[in-house]
Amino acid sequence: MDYLSCHIEKEPFGVTDEGAPVYQYTLINDRGAMVKVINYGAIVRELWVPDRTGTLFDVVLGFDSLVDYERENSNYFFGAIMGRYANRIARGRFSIDGITYQLALNDGDRPNSLHGGVKGFHTRLFKAVPMKTPDGPSLVMTYFSHDGEEGFPGNLELTVIYTLTHRNELKIEYSATVDKPTVVNLTNHSYFNLSGDGTILDHELFINADHYTPVDENLIPTGEIAPVEGTPYDLRRFRKLKEAIEPLKNTKVRGFDINYVLNGKPGELKLAAVLRNPKTGIVLEMYTTEPGLQLYTGNFLNVKGKRGRYYEPYSGLCLEAQHFPDSPNHPNFPSTLLRPGEAYHQLTIYKFSTE
């Protein structure tokens, strides 16, 4: 593959409240697909892929300005890297080797730590280095999370590599090391809409999971790993989201906000989900090495987004590759403990095609 077929641009994207410059990086593959990433939160701002006629659609939600990301994104987390611990930890508390750590409780009226805390990775500035590779244009993003940041122990060195492959895949590779035992659970929190507008209610979704983790009133797993059979969470066959969400609309959550236990072996790349839009013909296949997938259907979206578009409930959905919520407090769940000398690694791929 000719490296010159990769196209990468860098441009200013504003200055943070603390006076730090932020940059946007545009990656374009040899098929014309394009992703725009800012180094604030390692946020995927735009992702343009072709529909069945070749017309490009931006299939992720986001904001137009850095000001909006700073003011609003701790409510929505559009496109950002979640860490040091994605999803929820009950009471914001966990123990390692007999030492108990307390995190901020930032999950609204629920007594949980959510997505790494008040100033999680979604608010941090990453160093970014663009690279041209045979696979497609890449952006190597690094962040150093110091010991005690948001209550987590240990200095953590994180690398996230975004690659827009020439096969129209957005490939996200994560790696991390620490100098003290800690917990690590990372994901990307992009909201997808394969119409580029409107809602995802006419989209069809398949999730490759026979089991899920039921939750209590605070959305914390009970510890049970239960079959999806006979529940509203059974998405082992394609279902239109309007119909799938309907039985959940009158619950407190008003839709899906649940962790699936993916079929296949943790650590091995496997098909996790397929999202398709009959209108545009765009199909999104998701593959991951992670054991879990959090499905969130944007149940409480209520904000003005890109290009003047207003995001209402169900304007997009998240397919978050992850370990399970509250894993540090459930010994029967796959462990999120990372010790010195060990390496965290995750590969997640969002592959786009048409039908």
> Among 189, 203, 323, 330, which one carries the catalytic annotation?
189
Peptide bond into 339 cis (omega under 30): no
Q: Report which of 133, 197, 141, 135 is spatially closest to residue 169, judged by C-alpha positions.
A: 135
Instruction: Check: CB of residue 56 under 8 Å from CB of residue 281.
Output: no
> Which residues, 6+ apart, have CB-to-CB distance to 132 below 8 Å?
3, 4, 6, 8, 138
Burial grade of 237 (CB within 10 A; 0-12, 13-18, 19 or more): exposed
Cα gap 101→281, rounded to integer Å: 48
Please indicate whether residue 169 is annotated as part of the active site.
no
Extract the tokens encoding 257.
């906000």
Cα gap 152→64, rounded to integer Å: 32
Cα gap 321→86, rounded to integer Å: 10
Please indicate whether residue 330 is annotated as part of the active site.
no
Q: Report which of 40, 45, 80, 37 is spatially closest to residue 61, judged by C-alpha positions.
A: 45
Cα gap 174→344, rounded to integer Å: 8
Cα gap 133→142, rounded to integer Å: 18
> Among 115, 320, 323, 330, which one carries the catalytic annotation?
320
Helix, strand, coil: what percent of the chain each, to 5? 10, 45, 45
| C-alpha 266 chain-centroid distance | 18
Extract the tokens encoding 158.
């994180």
Active site amino acids: 189, 320
